[in-house]
Amino acid sequence: MLQAYSVEVRRQDAQRAVAETRGFSLVLGARRADMEAGFNPVETLLAALGSCLLTGIQFVAESSKVPLEGARVVLEAHREDKPPRIVRIGFVMYLESPAPVERLERLYELTLKNSTLFQSLKVAIPITGRWERT
């Protein structure tokens, strides 16, 4: 079964765009190289990937009954200019849990396997990631 998603993005002004879905909105930067406008498109993509990974790890932890007291992801992308494209993404997922290393490793593996954005993006962009205990 296919699940459909819909987002509308419109220019708010010369610097910003607003994305809206299901009554939620997100203000985004929409002026090239303007670091004052807000999240740029690449940062927005990284935020979406990070959010997807955190959603996944929470789901897998609850399903597997692995105690997870905290989680965060730090992501980085590298872009080339000609042609303009992201050439690689890297991330570190920091996990706070008393669970044994083997359980956390399995939790991490299942998260990657079940992350919609990770699975979609890795086809087009090399992604490297790892986890660490905090």
Domains of the chain as residue ranges with CATH: 1-39 (no CATH), 41-133 (3.30.300.20)
The owner of tokens 């087009």 is 124
Where does the pLDDT of residue 37 fall: very low under 50, low under 70, confident under 90, or very high at 90 and above? confident
Two tokens, residue 109: 């593996």
pTM over 0.85: yes
The answer to whether the Cα torsion of 102, 107, 108, 110 is positive or negative is: positive
The answer to whether the Cα torsion of 1, 113, 111, 77 is positive or negative is: negative
Where does the pLDDT of residue 117 fall: very low under 50, low under 70, confident under 90, or very high at 90 and above? very high
| Residue 59 buriedness (CB in 10 A; 0-12 / 13-18 / 19+) | middle
Where does the pLDDT of residue 120 fall: very low under 50, low under 70, confident under 90, or very high at 90 and above? very high
